[in-house]
Amino acid sequence: MQESTKEKELINRIYDNVSQTDPYYNDFIEAVKSLFVLMGKDSSKLNSFQDYMYTLRNMIIHEMRNLLEYSEEMTAIAECYEKLIFILLQDCKLDKNDKKGLFVLDKDYSWKINKRKMREVYNDI
């Protein structure tokens, strides 16, 4: 039980300080809700992105076999979450005084250019 509490606290800590106004957060919640409906799971007590993330995490950890037949729904959820990871990395601050988000590599640039840009961002931290 203590492990579950730690995981939930970690999810809350990660996402509490990130603006969740981007539509991808809602897309993620809706995709998870759709999965829950198909599986007959009650999601009426889930109120936040963090609640949906934690509940989905538990299902992946504890009920993976049940999820195997929902590959299309899991793919949709994964695609939403991949987009959210980029937003999280941009919005996440290293500490409360940090004015910069975490650096995100731009796939349109070479590794060399991305490396230089990353150094420019973090040299003064």
> Taking Cα atoms as reference points, which of 102, 78, 97, 87 lies closest to residue 23?
87
Separation between Cα atoms, residue 101 and residue 12, nearest integer Å: 18
Query: What percentage of the chain carries pLDDT values higher than 70?
Result: 75
pLDDT at 105: 61
Give pTM, 2 decimals: 0.68
Amino acid (one-letter) located at 113:
I
Secondary element (H or E) of residue 6: helix 2-16
Which amino acid, residue 125? I
Coil, strand or helix at 93: strand
Separation of alpha carbons 120 and 114, rounded Å = 10
Q: Identify the burial level of 104 via C-beta atoms within 10 angstroms of its C-beta, where 0-12 means exposed, 13-18 middle and 19 or more buried.
A: middle
For residue range 62-120, list pLDDT tens digits in order: 999 999 999 999 999 999 898 888 777 766 655 555 555 555 566 677 777 877 777 77
pLDDT at 125: 45
Q: Where are the domains of the chain?
A: 2-92, 95-125
Average pLDDT over residues 38-54: 93
